Amino acid sequence: MEDLTELILLQMSSLNQDAGGFVAGLLSDDLTRDQQISFGHRLVDLAELILERASSTPTMVIEGSLER
């Protein structure tokens, strides 16, 4: 597995583990501003890795058409 793919999977796993607590905190209005910003930054970091991986995926020609 590629390093970038592994990093995405690790970050997704970590976010998934913390998502329930984040949602509960949102619903109960118990999250501090810093906790919300921190979780948001984690989501942005993951999104940037996904965009980087998608942008670096080689394009190949299959039966005369471009596939990504």
Residue with tokens 């949102």: 26
Residue 65 has pLDDT above 90, yes or no: no
Of residues 59 and 51, more confidence is placed in: 51
Q: What is the pLDDT of residues 39-49, one digit of tens each?
A: 999 999 999 99
Q: Structural domain tally of the chain?
A: 1
Sign of CA dihedral 29, 34, 39, 43: positive
Residue 28 has pLDDT above 70, yes or no: yes
The answer to whether the predicted template modeling score (pTM) of the entire model surpasses 0.75 is yes
Q: What is the pLDDT of residue 7?
A: 97
For residue 31, give its domain range.
Answer: 3-67
Q: What is the pLDDT of residue 61?
A: 58
